[in-house]
């Protein structure tokens, strides 16, 4: 008997080994883009020019080849009828992971938590379609002559859900908590260290942050060390923390406290009524909301898996969803009870070339002039060899399309639409390689010195098409004579190899990744010479100069800043440490009964405006 | 048992640490200062050698402190206790449904073997063997949840029901469909076992003896065959305990039912080590205990086995 239970438990150990090994091969469900955003999950306003393919019923139609165009989608819901008084809607939080329940903007780290938060809390400043702070929000701001000192004034009628007014002290308190040495959230970073006195406070050398002054109950003054245009686009921390609730809780215990997990508080249009952890949230309207009383009485948020999102939408189980898998759109484009809104996503997929390593001592890039991919002609030929527009059509029905520069069109002010990037041309690619001396040696090309050339390419697993997509690129490169070895790896392994910890895998030459970009256009965090996430490990003086110009004081002049980034985009098209492969669209289905709803910023719609025309959701015919 | 758990804990710990990346790898974010991440790694002890990390963890675990989840920023014990009740209820419902379905089917199929009913039941068990649980779960969800609209399509409780009878009823209502989906697939092996045992036992000498002594047919089946045939089923029960704790990843994800299986997979993907190890260890302990319970049950129902 003893023997038998021994062997059984070893079976369990073996079984668990298999589970772990399997899990290590899978990945996080296709959500492969690392997120460099500042936590502001708000996408851009769509260029609202209606494309030629939209029809009378407002539904975008595919062209003859079955491809769609994001320009055919509106980002504002068409109102069909007058809203009724009150009503209740259901919001589907799509994802295979439930929200973690850290329900405070100062502490959360997962995107699902942000979706939960946005119904009941909001920042004190809002921004326009170019992501520049406006004076329409719960607070207004003024900038001093030298651009370093901001004075914020909170409106008088802005109250916490318990009725206590929001004060300048609450805002200061949020800064103190995030800068506290015991703070365990992910927010403390360069946005904070750019405030005068924060570093001293963080290191325990000061009791107060010298750069933050409470002028009176409603006014706060913050002095930044360096003035940059980025301050106006997401560089200010706009989320207060209710001091009357949190002041007695030690900073290290705040994130786990019931004040954040069970009875979270905010200033938004809805109040949290009840939470089933990881599963659902019921919100009731906040009659005291500073913009006015919300139209809806109630919002229910529930977690739904991506596998059933279409069914839930058809049956009216949800009115709105946080996220819709773009690959399911072509089959469901004529769903009769919803309208699909669409915008261009703040993201791009790209292929990067490893050109150096990370010097952990100096904390900067150490370029390797002898890297396998060091010749710009080789990189250029690899860009010329791939037809990204075709990839977008074949794999995404046109809802992703070929990228041209490293600033995506979600930033219409800064994306240089006139720059074609490097266009697809097989013959040109071959010529580029011939001219650079990459001669054929039998089946494959060799290095100019005659040594064999084998390029190691890694890509992430995640969705059904991850591997075919990567294979397409391998084949395109084979077509111009380059021998490329593909290895598919899972998300965590991928970024470890690429260098998220500074220990780059020397065997990787080329990789395929994706970035979600912040609302501020400044790409220094991805391409600066001291940026750990500069995965190609490439730098140049010109690049540093342009990046610095982009955030200089002169760049407060938008025209000048545009010019700088136009030059930078062109410079990157010439240097090609990475090249963009696909731009992406973001689709959002909305039940027909919903009115006053839009996605994106600067639309003039806020969540308290949302209403319904009928009691019950419209069901698909 | 103690040395088994101890060795299991070391193996689990090493394997978890061997996974590439850590809880901070997912935070690839240029707005986060790499120095701050390095400081966090240091603070979390992720840079220590494995035996130091293991000692820190095991000495706390021995006192019932399984550490904090990095992702959820709350104690692992609290996180598990939130999930484990969902999984227990789901598993209990599944278990009850499984035996309610399996025993009658097994008996009919075994007693009247090679009849029309037996063929139908056997046919069902073969389909059940061939059908992957996640496909079947999706079909059930689509048909009963969306098409007929008889059952809720996700979650473990109606968001509006917070207490009282309504809460309990809503909980039961929510777990019926996932439990039924699992039971309908889960019964097939039990049905087959029971059928084979009954057919086997029917031909044993003591049954022939019982018949020869003039025992009625129902007496033969109920007293002699049934009891003997239940032995392997009873032995199974202990292993079901593992399932009770472990939950099922497929069903929990399809029905968006927050239980242990879902927690386990998410913590692996998110490299939330403290949760991975704690949950895996719990599964391991559950199966060791399950094996023990199986032995004890066998000991009770089968007088031929006695612990000396």
State the pLDDT at residue B24. Answer: 63
The 3-class SS string of chain B reads: CHHHHHHHHHHHHHHHHHCCCCCCCCCCCCCECHHHHHHHHHHHCCCCCHHHHHHHHHHHHHCCCCCECCCCCCEHHHHHHHHHHHHHHHHHHHHHHHHHHHHHHHHHHHHCCCCHHHHHHHHHHHHHHHCCHHHHHHHHHHHHHHHCCCCCCCCCCCCCCCCHHHHHHHHHHHHHHHHHHHHHHHHHHHHHHHHHHHHHHHCCHHHHHHHHCCCCHHHHHHHHHHHHHHHHHHHHHHHHHHHHHHCCHHHHHHCCCCCHHHHHHHHHHCCCHHHHHHHHHHHHHHHHHHHHHHHHHHHHHCCCCCCC
Chain B interface, best mutation among A22, A275, A501, by max B CB count within 10 A: A501
Indicate the pTM of the whole model.
Answer: 0.79
Instruction: Give the distance from residue B187's alpha carbon to the nearest chain A alpha carbon, in angstroms.
Output: 22
What is the CA angle B289-B274-B56, rounded to 5?
95
The verdict on a CB contact (< 8 Å) between B254 and A6 is no
Chain A environment of B19 (Cβ under 8 Å) = 20, 24, 492
Q: Which of B10, B80, B159 to substitute to test the interface with A, most A CBs within 10 Å?
A: B159
Q: Where are the domains of chain B?
A: 2-63, 77-305
- A359 closest CA partner among A89, A539, A109: A539
Q: Could A36 and B288 be called an inter-chain contact, meaning their C-beta atoms sit closer than 8 Å?
A: no
CA-to-CA separations, A614 to A178, A316, A598, B80, B158, in angstroms, rounded: 44, 12, 19, 41, 22
Residues forming beta bridges with residue A589, ordered by sequence position: A340
CB neighbour list of residue A193: distance below 8 Å, 6 or more residues apart: A199, A202, B33
Which of A34, A311, A363 comes nearest B146 by C-beta? A311
pLDDT tens digits, one per residue of A195-226: 999 999 988 899 999 999 999 999 999 999 98
Q: Per mean pLDDT, which range of A116-125, A214-223, A377-386, B131-140 is the poorest?
A: B131-140
Interchain pair B149, A315: CB under 8 A: yes
pLDDT tens column, A150-193: 999 999 999 999 999 999 999 999 999 999 988 877 778 778 88
| A5/B256 touch (CB, cutoff 8 Å), yes or no | no
Residue B30 to residue A516: CA distance in whole angstroms: 11
- Considering the domain B77-305, what is its CATH architecture? Orthogonal Bundle (1.10)
Each residue's pLDDT tens digit, B209-254: 888 888 787 877 877 787 777 777 777 777 776 666 666 777 888 8
Strands A454-460 and A510-516: parallel
Q: What average pLDDT does this structure show over A33-43?
A: 37
Which one of A261, A305, A495 has the shortest CB-CB distance to B28?
A495
3-state class of A162 per DSSP? coil
User: Which range among A191-200, A225-234, A367-376, B282-291 shows the weakest confidence by mean pLDDT?
Assistant: B282-291
Among A333-337, A589-593, B8-12, B77-81, the range of highest mean pLDDT = A589-593
């Amino acid at each position: 008997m003893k023997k038998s239970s021994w062997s059984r438990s070893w079976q369990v150990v073996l079984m668990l080994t298999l589970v772990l090994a399997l899990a290590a091969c899978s990945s996080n469900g296709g959500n492969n883009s690392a997120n460099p955003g500042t936590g502001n999950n708000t996408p851009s306003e769509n260029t609202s020019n209606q494309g030629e393919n939209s029809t009378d019923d407002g539904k975008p139609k595919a062209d003859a080849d079955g491809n769609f165009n994001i320009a055919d989608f509106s980002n504002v819901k068409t109102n069909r009828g007058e809203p009724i008084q009150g009503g209740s809607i259901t919001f589907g939080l799509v994802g295979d992971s439930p929200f973690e329940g850290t329900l405070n903007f100062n502490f959360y780290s997962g995107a699902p938590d942000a979706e939960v938060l946005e119904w009941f809390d909001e920042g004190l400043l809002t921004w326009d379609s170019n992501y520049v702070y406006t004076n329409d929000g719960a607070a207004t701001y003024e900038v001093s002559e030298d651009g370093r000192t901001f004075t914020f004034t909170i409106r008088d009628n802005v109250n916490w859900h318990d009725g206590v007014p929001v004060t300048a002290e609450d805002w200061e308190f949020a800064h103190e908590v995030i800068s506290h040495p015991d703070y365990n959230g992910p927010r403390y970073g360069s946005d904070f260290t750019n405030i005068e006195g924060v570093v001293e406070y963080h290191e325990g050398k000061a009791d107060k942050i010298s750069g933050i002054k409470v002028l009176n109950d409603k006014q706060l003054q913050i002095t930044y060390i360096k003035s940059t245009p980025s301050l106006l686009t997401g560089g200010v921390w706009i989320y207060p923390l209710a001091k009357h609730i949190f002041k007695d809780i030690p900073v290290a215990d705040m994130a786990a406290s019931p004040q954040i997990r069970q009875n979270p508080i905010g200033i938004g249009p809805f109040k949290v009524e009840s939470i089933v952890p990881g599963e659902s949230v019921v919100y009731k309207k906040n009659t005291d909301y500073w913009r006015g009383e919300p139209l809806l009485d109630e919002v229910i948020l529930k977690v739904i898996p991506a596998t059933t999102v279409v069914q839930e939408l058809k049956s009216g189980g949800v009115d709105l969803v946080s996220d819709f898998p773009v690959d399911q759109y072509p089959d469901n484009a004529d769903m009769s009870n919803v309208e699909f809104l669409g915008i261009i996503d703040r993201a791009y997929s790209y292929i990067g070339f490893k050109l150096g390593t990370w010097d952990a001592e100096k904390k900067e890039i150490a370029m390797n002039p002898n890297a396998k991919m060091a010749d710009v002609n080789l990189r250029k030929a690899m860009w010329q060899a791939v037809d990204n527009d075709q990839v977008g059509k074949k794999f995404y029905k046109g809802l992703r399309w070929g990228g041209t520069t490293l600033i995506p069109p979600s930033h219409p002010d800064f994306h240089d639409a006139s720059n074609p990037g490097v266009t697809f041309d097989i013959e040109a690619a071959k010529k580029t390689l011939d001219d650079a001396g990459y001669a054929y040696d039998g089946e494959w090309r060799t290095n100019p010195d005659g040594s064999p050339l084998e390029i190691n390419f890694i890509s992430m697993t995640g969705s059904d098409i991850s591997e075919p997509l990567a294979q397409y690129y391998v084949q395109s490169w084979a077509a111009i004579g380059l021998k490329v070895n593909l290895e598919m790896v899972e998300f965590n392994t991928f970024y470890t190899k690429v260098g998220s910890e500074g220990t780059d895998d020397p065997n990787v030459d080329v990789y395929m990744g994706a970035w979600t970009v912040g609302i501020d256009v400044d790409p220094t965090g991805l391409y600066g010479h001291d940026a750990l996430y500069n995965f190609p490990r490439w730098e140049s003086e010109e690049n540093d100069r342009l990046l610095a110009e982009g955030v200089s004081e002169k760049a407060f002049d938008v025209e000048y800043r545009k010019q700088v980034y136009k030059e930078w985009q062109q410079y990157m098209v010439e240097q090609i440490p990475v090249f963009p492969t696909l731009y992406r669209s973001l689709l959002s289905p909305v039940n027909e009964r919903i009115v006053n709803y839009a996605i994106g910023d600067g639309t003039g719609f806020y969540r308290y405006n949302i209403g319904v025309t009928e009691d019950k959701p419209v069901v698909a015919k | 048992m103690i040395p088994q758990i101890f060795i299991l804990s070391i193996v689990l710990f090493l394997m978890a640490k061997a996974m590439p990346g850590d809880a901070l790898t997912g935070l690839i974010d240029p707005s986060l200062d790499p120095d701050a991440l390095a400081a966090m790694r240091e603070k979390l002890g992720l840079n220590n050698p494995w035996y130091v990390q293991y000692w820190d963890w095991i000495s706390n675990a021995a006192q019932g402190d399984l550490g904090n989840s990095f992702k959820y920023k709350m104690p692992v014990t609290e996180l598990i206790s939130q999930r484990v009740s969902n999984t227990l209820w789901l598993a209990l419902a599944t278990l009850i449904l499984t035996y309610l379905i399996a025993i009658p089917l097994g008996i009919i199929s075994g007693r009247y073997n090679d009849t029309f009913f037996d063929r139908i039941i056997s046919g069902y068990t073969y389909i059940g063997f061939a059908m992957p649980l996640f496909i079947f779960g999706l079909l059930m969800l689509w048909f009963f949840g969306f098409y007929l609209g008889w059952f809720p399509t996700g979650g473990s409780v109606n968001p509006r029901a917070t207490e009282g009878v309504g809460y309990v009823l809503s909980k039961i209502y929510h777990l019926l469909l996932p439990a039924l989906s699992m039971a309908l697939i889960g019964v097939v092996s039990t049905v087959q076992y029971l059928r084979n045992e009954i057919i086997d036992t029917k031909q044993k000498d003591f049954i022939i003896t019982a018949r020869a002594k003039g025992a009625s047919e129902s007496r033969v089946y109920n007293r002699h065959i049934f009891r003997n045939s239940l032995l392997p089923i009873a032995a199974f029960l202990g292993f079901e305990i593992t399932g009770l704790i472990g939950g099922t990843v497929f069903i929990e994800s399809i029905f968006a039912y927050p239980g242990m299986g879902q927690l386990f997979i998410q913590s692996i993907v998110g490299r939330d080590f403290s949760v991975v190890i704690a949950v895996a260890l719990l599964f391991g302990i559950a199966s060791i205990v399950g094996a023990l319970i199986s032995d004890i049950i066998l000991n009770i129902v089968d007088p031929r086995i006695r612990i000396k």
